[in-house]
Amino acid sequence: MFGWRITPEWLKGNKRVLWFGLRMWNIRNLNLTGVFTLVIRENRVLLVNKRLGVVLGWQIPGGGLKRGNLPEEGALKELFEETGIRAGKLEFLGISSFPENRNLMIAYIAHYFVGSTEPCVHDTFEISEARWVPIEEALEKLIEPHRLFLEKAIQK
């Protein structure tokens, strides 16, 4: 669930992605803070399928917090970069640690939006797909810390 299966067929069309991913893994900051925005509408959750990054697979939109950015600003920026959706206001959801990949994960919930809520991937290099997924399906697809954030949001 956390990694790729690199087959000769996959490698033919993805050498650049693999090279970039390995290079970024080697130079990334060892103390990484991730910021994520959970978006739930009509019993569906907005997820992105990451093909490049610290952790791969279906996730809540988000990424590493850049030095100098406030967590909420970073979460809003990552949401737009990965899905094309602009949130107007975020509500703090929680903080978690995931020592295997990030030292700290900060999650928010978006309630208000500016413009369309139809996902449109801007960063096709990192994100292969963004789409609305039924909550039950999202609970099965999400990696552990993201699933826990979704469970916490559902209980609110």
In order, the DSSP letters of 105-135 are EEEEEEEEEES--S---S-TTTEEEEEEEEH
Whether 141 contacts 50, CB under 8 Å: no
Find out whether 41 and 132 touch, Cβ atoms under 8 Å: yes
Contact 78, 36 (CB under 8 A): yes
Who wins on pLDDT, 35 or 112? 35
- CA torsion 44-99-95-81 (nearest 10°) is -50
Residues linked to residue 46 through DSSP beta bridges, in sequence order? 132
Which pLDDT score is estimated for 30?
A: 56
34-61 average pLDDT score: 91
Give CA–CA dist 110/97, Å, rounded. 21
Measured between alpha carbons, how far is 11 from 29 in angstroms, rounded to an integer?
Answer: 27
Rounded to the nearest 10 degrees, how much is the dihedral formed by the CA atoms of 8, 27, 29, 46?
-30
CB 40, CB 109: distance < 8 Å: yes
Q: Which two tokens stand for residue 71?
A: 């967590």
Q: Is the pLDDT of residue 68 over 60?
A: yes
Q: What is the pTM of this model?
A: 0.77
| Secondary structure of residue 31 in the 3-state scheme | coil
Confidence of residue 126 (pLDDT cuts 50, 70, 90): confident
**Position 123 pLDDT exceeds 90:** no
With 0-12 / 13-18 / 19 or more C-beta atoms within 10 angstroms meaning exposed / middle / buried, residue 70 is: exposed
Homologous superfamily of 8-155? Nucleoside Triphosphate Pyrophosphohydrolase (3.90.79.10)
Each residue of 10-41: pLDDT tens digit? 555 555 555 555 545 444 455 678 999 999 99
